[in-house]
Chain A
Amino acid sequence: MTNPTELKYSKDHEWVKLEGDIAIVGVTDFAQKQLTDIVFVELPENGKKVEKNKPMAVIESVKSVSDVFSPVTGEVVAINESLKDNPDTINKNPYDEGWVAKIKIVDNSELDGLMSAEDYEKFTAENH
């Protein structure tokens, strides 16, 4: 799966899509491959305040339990309820139906520090 070019990527393997002042956040294909079969997702609560680079959700696979870090600061306005019954959506469709949360952000410039698809491609090739 190639990393969609319209998204931005964090060092912790999250992706962000900006729609106005809403940032949609999920984890990358690289991440879901590392995690292997996902069995449970602990979603944040609606209305929760999240901070850039702080944990906001937890993804559990058979082999590990990993934090999902928020790449932006803001308030959670929507969570992907379908992950409660079908956590494996993240494995099947990490960039699309596998989104984790929608966050209303205050500072668009936070996204400047994130990587483009190309840079993220290089990053994952180098470091792993």
Chain B
Amino acid sequence: MKLIFEKSVKGRTGASLPELDVSMKQVLSNELIREDLLLPEVSEVDVVRHYTALSRRNFGVDNGFYPLGSCTMKYNPKVNEDVAGLSGFTDCHPLQPYNQGCLKLMYHLEKMLCEICGMDAFTLQPAAGAHGELTGLMMVKAYFEGENRNKIITPDSSHGTNPASGSMCGFETITIKSNSKGQVDIDELKNVLDGDVAAVMLTIPNTLGIFEAEILEITKLVHENGSLVYMDGANMNALMGIVKPGDMGIDILHLNLHKTFGTPHGGGGPGSGPVGVKKELAKFLPNPSIVLNDDIYEFTNNSNSIGKVKAFYGNFNVMVKAFTYIRALGCSGLKGVSENAVLNANYMKEKLKKHYKLSYDLVCKHEFVLSDEDMPNDVTTADIAKRLLDYGYHPPTVYFPLIVHGAIMIEPNETESKEMLDKFIDVMIKIKDEAGTDPDIVKTAPHTTVVKRLDAVKAARELDLRFKF
């Protein structure tokens, strides 16, 4: 499909502006003014047709099932979009007075997240999960200022953002091998815990979808070592109303509002990655915080704060959607979300394990991981994923976590019906059969999409990162 620039015709414009209502003067010297400006010149109908056509070459949750493990691609409620569009939210300037509505929403969202997670304080400032991890680790660093704790520990199943965030704070990451049950090996952990360790970063449930059964022992050991426990809260969809991270010994965690709390993924953002802490760490939270004084919501700054990780206060419009989601579901609704997410995953796991190698045959939480080992004719996870596109499904997460060969991480989430799960299971079984009887059709998939398999090697060798006019 052509680029918008290729549809450009000199002199066209797609928007109208009023005429200048003050007299035009030469206010800047010519040497400050640019002469070139290479932007498209298209009419409004062309803009609309072009981007509408592009949208039809895209696939969202509203198009179909999206079992991406660790992403929690649940249905995005439309009421959230509507209320987020209220002008009292969209048009409020971050530095203006008369901002009580916005502050009230943020304050109460923080309180509700504290209650859900069992934490004492939250910041809503980070713009994404990884941003939250960075913020959290900066706070860990501040907490240990003066001590020489320069290491963090993560299991080998951790998300890449964990060690990457660690490096951004000057921490060295020690990776420990998971045990035969896919969980933290307590002996391995004991081996690496020493006076240099600032924190242990865990995802709970982990990236295999398995709950760390020995979590209380783990957090006890870490605390006895004088270190903190950081929880990557990406998988919180399995725990709401069931258990609170704060009760398990978690000192600091981040959440992904665009996962657990139903705000849209936007094709890659915007998200929001709030960070929750126990009271010992609250003073390090980014500035400003929000307090309630005699019915007035106000910003306040803390001198021990790590500073700021973003201008202003965070992705407010995403917070509006998360707030609405939590209030719409309520206490019982949130628990129902986690229960159904976990039921859906276990249902699929039990049915698919008869056809695909299950990485760990244990009860799972909201997701589980299959492997491409045992696939006939050298059919790989990549092939299976591409073949799923032909059947109209977004593939599961693939090749993560790294500790499973050809990992296929499936997270159905609670907003899918039994029929949808059954249909997907049937297609997965069909593809397994195809791998045996007609492997070529799987290995050369996809066949029905607007483009076929794309050449990533060519893309990386011959960089083409913008249109050249």
Interface of A toward B, CB cutoff 8 Å = 37, 39-40, 60, 62, 87-88
Q: Which residues of B contact A39 (CB under 8 A)?
A: 457, 460-461
* Residues of chain B within 8 A of A88, CB atoms compared: 461
A-B contact pairs, 12 of them (CB 8 A): A37-B457, A39-B457, A39-B460, A39-B461, A40-B460, A40-B461, A60-B460, A62-B456, A62-B457, A62-B460, A87-B461, A88-B461
- Separation of A87 and B460 alpha carbons in the complex (Å): 11
B residues in contact (CB < 8 Å) with A: 456-457, 460-461
Q: Count chain B CB atoms within 10 A of each CB in A37, A40, A60 and give the residue with the most.
A: A37
- Chain B residues contacting A87 (CB-CB under 8 Å) are 461
**B461 proximity list for chain A (CB < 8 A):** 39-40, 87-88
User: A67 to B375, alpha carbons, bound, how many Å?
Assistant: 33
In the complex formed, the residue of B with least CB distance to A62 is B456
- On chain A, the residues within 8 Å of B457 by CB distance are 37, 39, 62
User: In the assembly, what is the distance between CA of A39 and CA of B461, in Å?
Assistant: 5
Majority DSSP secondary structure for residues of A touching B: loop
Q: How far is the CA of A105 from the CA of B333 in the complex (A)?
A: 70
- State A40–B456 Cα separation when bound (angstroms): 13
From A86, which residue of chain B is reached at the shortest CB distance?
B461
Report the minimal beta-carbon distance from A85 to chain B, rounded to whole angstroms. 9
CB-nearest residue of chain A relative to B457?
Answer: A37
B453, chain A: closest CB distance, angstroms: 13
Q: Which residues of B contact A62 (CB under 8 A)?
A: 456-457, 460
Question: What 5 pairs across the A-B complex have the smallest Cβ distances?
Answer: A39-B460, A37-B457, A62-B456, A39-B461, A62-B457
Residues in A whose Cβ lies below 8 Å from that of B456: 62
Q: Chain A residues near B460 (CB, 8 Å)?
A: 39-40, 60, 62
CA of A122 to CA of B461, assembled, Å: 34
Compute how far the CA of A60 lies from the CA of B461 in the bound complex, rounded to whole angstroms.
10
Measured between beta carbons, the chain B residues less than 8 angstroms from A37 are: 457
What's the minimum C-beta distance from B272 to chain A, rounded to whole angstroms? 30
A40-B460, A60-B460, A88-B461 given; 9 more Cβ-contact pairs under 8 Å? A37-B457, A39-B457, A39-B460, A39-B461, A40-B461, A62-B456, A62-B457, A62-B460, A87-B461
Residues of B within 8 A of A40 (CB): 460-461
Give bound CA distance, A87 to B456, whole Å. 15
Nearest neighbor of A85 in chain B, beta-carbon distance: B461
Task: Give bound CA distance, A37 to B462, whole Å.
Answer: 13
Minimum Cβ distance to chain A for residue B166 (Å): 18
CA distance A18 to B351 in the complex (A): 59
Quote the shortest CB–CB distance from B399 to chain A (angstroms): 9
What separation, in Å, do the CA atoms of A20 and B351 have in the docked complex? Answer: 65
CB distance from A88 to the nearest CB of B (A): 7
How distant is the Cα of A37 from the Cα of B456 in the complex, in angstroms? Answer: 10
Closest to A36 in B: B457
- Interchain CA distance A62-B457 in the complex, whole Å: 6
Q: How far is the CA of A62 from the CA of B453 in the complex (A)?
A: 15
> How many angstroms from the CA of A60 to the CA of B463 in the assembled complex?
14
A60 to B457, CA, bound (A): 11
Determine the distance from Cα of A37 to Cα of B457 in the docked complex, in whole angstroms.
7
| Interfacial chain B residues near A60, Cβ < 8 Å | 460
Considering only CB atoms, which chain A residue lies closest to B460 in the complex? A39
- Determine how close the nearest CB of chain B comes to the CB of A81; give it in whole angstroms: 16
CB distance from B462 to the nearest CB of A (A): 9
Nearest neighbor of A87 in chain B, beta-carbon distance? B461
Distance to closest chain A CB from B61 (angstroms): 28
Shortest CB-to-CB span from B383 to chain A, Å, is: 16
